[in-house]
Amino acid sequence: MQTQLSLGQKIRYARRSLGMSQKELGEMLNLSDKAVSAYEVGRAVPPIETLKDISKFTSKPMSYFINESTKTEQTIAEKIASIEEELRQIKEMLSNQENS
């Protein structure tokens, strides 16, 4: 039975196959090496634009990185970001009402 690699494992493999450090990839992406590490170990999911850049810099097709679980992770991350933005707006409206 073949084990499917996680998105983070695919990012790490693609980076290492080029002999690139996390810092070097981070510099290419305008990110810290800590952000690259977070993607690789699964603490964070890269935004789709970042994933496109990783694809470009590692010469791997997007299809290499994207599978159903990645799409689900991305959808969840987008929903969380949307909810956080809505909460921020609600807090701002409440704060404005209190100051009126």
pLDDT tens digits for 1-13?
446 788 999 999 9
Amino acid 55 reads: S
* pLDDT tens-digit readout, 30-62: 999 999 999 999 999 898 899 999 999 999 998
Cα 90 off chain centre by: 26
Residue 70 has pLDDT above 60, yes or no: no
| Least confident interval from 12-26, 43-57, 63-77, 81-95 | 63-77
Q: Residue 81 and residue 26: Cα distance in Å, rounded?
A: 22
Q: Which tokens sit at 77?
A: 């991350």
pTM comes to 0.65
Task: Work out the average pLDDT over 24-35.
Answer: 96
Residue 80 has pLDDT above 50, yes or no: yes
Q: What are phi and psi of 33, to 5 degrees?
A: -65, -25
pLDDT for 1: 44
Task: Work out the average pLDDT over 67-84.
Answer: 70
Q: Mind listing the domains of the chain with CATH numbers?
A: 7-70 (1.10.260.40)
